[in-house]
A and B are shown apart, each in its own frame.
Chain A
Amino acid sequence: MSHGPLEMTGADDAPTCVDGVCDLPAEIPPAGDEG
């Protein structure tokens, strides 16, 4: 993905919302994964 003249920094996988749909939080394990 191009970001015009910007130099991109930071983590590539930081969560965002796109077109009304948001990334799932990676830090919280899904329900039922606790063992």
Chain B
Amino acid sequence: MNTPVKVDIWSDIACPWCFVGKRRFETAAAEFATTGGELEVEYHSFELSPDTPVDFDGTEVDFLVSHKGMPAAQVEQMLGQMTELAATEGLTYDFDALQHTNTVKAHELLHFAKSKDRQLDMSERLFAAYFEEGRHVGRVDDLADLAAEIGLDRDETLAALTSGEFLPAVTADKQQAIAYGISGVPFFVIDGRFGVSGAQDPSAIVDVLRKAADER
């Protein structure tokens, strides 16, 4: 078995389960590798809330209460539990510092990074910046800073984001998600054959990776 198993992951930066699911997937990938398995991983764009303004004026609680109609007490309980759960995966979520924003430019950045073979590093940097560091991931200047932090050229990044060069790639990902019937994220597509929805336990991911490899 020399051809890597292809894993296509639909996710949004503003998705707490997607960062948790990323960690669980990485655990599964490490287990798969111990038996000689090889993977090719690609992230795809999914916007959970495309109507969010870039400069949303408020907290995550404000957003969920005002835009989604959720009771404030329920939101605070949800975020508290999410923070505890994320900690079990080694993640330090900080919803008080989080700057809610539109993520379409962050998705364009992920496609730009893919063109430079740096998509996985960019994905990790964006998730950490958003959930752990209270960094803004909606403005092109802030995104160019984050790109530079992983070694991408800041000016080239800024030009790509400003021109919208990678917006068609974001749109294509969203259309493919619709074709697959994906309504929630994270969502994993294995070798274009198997679908796995949600932040699954690593064992479930390992099972489907082995199944995909064995059935070739």
Contacts and interface: CB of A to CB of B under 8 A. Distances in A.
B194 A7 contact: yes
Given A3-B181, A16-B185, A22 B194 contact: no
B84 A10 contact: no
Given A19-B49, A31-B77, A9 B198 contact: no
A6 to B, nearest CB: 3
In which size bucket is the chain A interface? Answer: 20 to 34
Interface in B178-211: 179-187, 189, 193-201, 204-205, 207-208, 211
B88 A16 contact: no
Contact of A27 (B18, B85, B184): B85
A21 B64 CA distance: 8
A18 B195 contact: no
Contacts of B179: 4
A16 B186 contact: yes
A15 to B, nearest CB: 5
Interface residues of B, number: 46
Contacts of B182: 3
Contact of A10 (B18, B193, B198): B198
Interface string B69-104: 010000001101110110010000000000000000
Interface stretch (B9-17, B124-132, B157-165): B9-17
A28 B81 contact: yes
A18 B81 CA distance: 18
B68 interface: yes
A31 B80 CA distance: 9
A24 B81 contact: yes
A13 B201 CA distance: 11
A25 B80 CA distance: 10
B49 A9 contact: no
Interface string B8-29: 0000101111100000000000
A16 to B, nearest CB: 3
B48 interface: yes
Nearest to B69: A21
A4 B180 contact: yes
A1 B17 CA distance: 20
A4 B199 CA distance: 20
B85 A17 contact: no
B70 A21 contact: yes
